[in-house]
Each structure stands twice: as structure tokens, then as C-alpha cells.
Amino acid sequence: MTNSKNLPVLLLIIEETNKNATLLVDIVKKAAEDICDIQLPEKPIIDSLKAASLVIAYLDGQSCNAHKLIEIGYRIGVKKPLILMTNEDTDLQQQVPFEYESCNPDRESSKLFCQSAILCSWEELNQDSYKQETIDNLRELIRQQVKPKKINSSYAVAEILIDINHEHNESEKRSNSIFTMTSEKTDRLFHVEGSLAGVPITEALELIHKMIELNQWQHFSQEQQKLIDRLISPKIMILDSDLKSDIVAKIPFIFNKSEYVSKDLHGKAFLALITQYTLDKDSSSLLLKLLYYEVPNLLLEEAPCRTHLVCKNI
């Protein structure tokens, strides 16, 4: 399997003879979407086990065989992220010959590289509500375990994946449009621990909501929503110069001096500038490179309505 989006590799270990294999693969695939590139083991499997950023192994009474346990043991030996999946009606502690404490995310030892994901029964997993809840929980666990790649830059830059798949509705496109890579400085702007990678754009904007004065936030967020609407529009696939010139931000986000904002960012203004567009081969996604430009005060002016600040035309 190719890794077209340069995402961390997730190796999924599951017995092909498992009658629920298709359902399991679907759950993991949706949970890891735009976070990891899912691959199945290839020979020699030891190389795959060592190289993968994350391994997820499914265990039950039928699949907990010697080969599987050796593979899990090797992964534990190299001390790299591992998630063990089983069903709630399977006693994982009896099936796996090592201390269950080290896999329990409800305990302090959850900080270890090995965690567990207890799925509900197969009957419940075939119900949409239970399945979606399982996907959401597993997605959060994957995010915790995978360390996204960082952009090596002293500037606040980011890469964003825009979903323009014509088979998806507007809501799906918005939720699927996410940060894929960021620099340390970008993560500091959004005041996140770790990385924005995997976070939807709309959620990232909400992270700085309380750090911006109300009038500025209202106009900034309205403009951002309009720009997102244009990006997910089918017209974006044309990518002509006129369309690109219409997707330019003019309203910066300006940090207030509240307790939520790092002191070195008090009063500073930043404008998100798209520096590069790359259309995916199948025209289902658009990769953007962004620069969060620190706007000097001399380039700021009041909007005609005098309710907020905008960038001057230069």
C-alpha cells in the first residue's frame, strides 16, 4: 500500500480467517483516517513490526495463537506504540500472558506504549450508534499513540488537507478537512500540547476563540468560514488564478491579554496565508501549505465599520 499523504504507518494485525475481519478493518480504517496510513503485515513481518509508527492487534479466543503472541511480544520488545483490541465478552487478561495493568487506559500506567481498546459485542458493533462510538474512542486512542511528524521550520507554518470529494456532503467535507503537519511555532500559536495534526480546521479555530476579543473574533471567524466554503467548493478543482485570488484572508486573529494567552503573544496579530496548492491525483483532496504571518501594527487599519481591524492592501 502506498502512503500518498506522508502519514505515519499503522500496521493492523488480524487473522484473515476471522469472520468479522471486514468489520474490524472498516472500524480501524475510519478511526485512523487522515491520521495514519493503514497497512497489513508483509513478509518479513519483523521488518513491518519494527518500522510501523503504530501497531493494532486484534485478540480473541480464536486468534490468540503462538504466532500472534510472538508478533505482539516483539513489538513490546522494541517499545513502540501498540494497541490491543478485543471484545468486552472476551477476557483479555486470560488471553494475553502479561500484566493487564500495563494496557489499562484508566490507570496511571496508561502512559506506557501499550494500551487496550475494549470493543462492545459483535451484535452491538453492527448497530450504527455503537459502531460510531467505537470509531470515535479508537480514533482518540490512535491520536494519543501516534506522534505526528513536525515541519522543521522557525516560522509558523502548516499543511492542511481539504476534502473536496464530490461524494461527500458539506458537513463531511468540513469534518474531514484537517491539519496534517505543523511546525512547533504553529502549535504554540494555537496553544496546543503536542500537535494540531489530525485536528479539523473548524475545531482548531475554536481553540483560539477565547483568546481573541469578541468583535475581532466574530469578523475573523466569519471570513474563515467563507474561505473554507470556497475551498470545499467543486470549483476549487479548476485552481485557476482568479479563483485563488478570491481565497485570501484579510482579517487577522489578534491575541488579547487574557490568562489564556502566552504573554509573548499578547496583542500580536497573525494572518493565515496560503502559499501553495496541490491537487490530489484523484481530485478528492487538496493539500494546502500555510504561513501564519505576524502582521506588524503599521499594516493594520480599522475596517470601514470600525468594529475590527483588517490588513491594509499592499
pLDDT at position 293 is: 97
Residue 120, CB-side half-sphere exposure with 13 Å CA sphere: 15
Q: Residue 3's pLDDT band (boundaries 50, 70, 90)?
A: very low
Q: How far apart are CA 234 and CA 13, in angstroms?
A: 38
Q: How far apart are CA 44 and CA 49, in angstroms?
A: 9
pLDDT at position 131 is: 86
Return the amino acid letter for 178: I
Cβ contacts of 204 within 8 Å, gap of 6 or more: 179, 190, 196
**pLDDT (mean) for 223-228:** 94
For the record, the C-alpha cell of 43 comes out as: 513478509
High-pLDDT (> 90) share of the chain, %: 39
pLDDT at 104 over 60: no
Q: Residue 63's pLDDT band (boundaries 50, 70, 90)?
A: low
Q: Residue 152's pLDDT band (boundaries 50, 70, 90)?
A: very high
pLDDT at position 280 is: 80
CA distances from 75 to 8, 13, 49, 153, 231 (A): 16, 12, 6, 32, 41
Cβ contacts of 129 within 8 Å, gap of 6 or more: none
Smallest Cα–Cα separation from 162: which of 52, 237, 92?
237
pLDDT at 110 over 60: no
- Of 97 and 180, which is predicted with more confidence? 180
CATH number of 9-145: 3.40.50.360
**pLDDT (mean) for 249-272:** 96
Q: How far apart are CA 1 and CA 9, in angstroms?
A: 10
Average pLDDT, the chain: 83
**pLDDT (mean) for 27-54:** 86
**pLDDT (mean) for 199-225:** 95
**pLDDT (mean) for 271-300:** 91
pLDDT at position 312 is: 92
pLDDT at 58 over 70: yes
- Of 40 and 115, which is predicted with more confidence? 40
Residue 50, CB-side half-sphere exposure with 13 Å CA sphere: 6
Indicate the helix (H) or strand (E) that contains 301: strand 300-302
At how many degrees (to 10) do helices 128-145 and 21-31 cross?
Answer: 60
Q: How far apart are CA 119 and CA 3, in angstroms?
A: 28
Q: How far apart are CA 170 and CA 168, in angstroms?
A: 7
Phi and psi angles of residue 128, each rounded to the nearest 5 degrees, phi first: -55, -45
pLDDT at 279 over 80: yes
**pLDDT (mean) for 187-200:** 87
What SS3 class is residue 227?
A: helix
- Of 42 and 209, which is predicted with more confidence? 209
- Of 283 and 298, which is predicted with more confidence? 298
Q: How far apart are CA 204 and CA 192, in angstroms?
A: 9
Q: Residue 41's pLDDT band (boundaries 50, 70, 90)?
A: confident
CA distances from 46 to 41, 68, 79, 112 (A): 9, 12, 14, 22
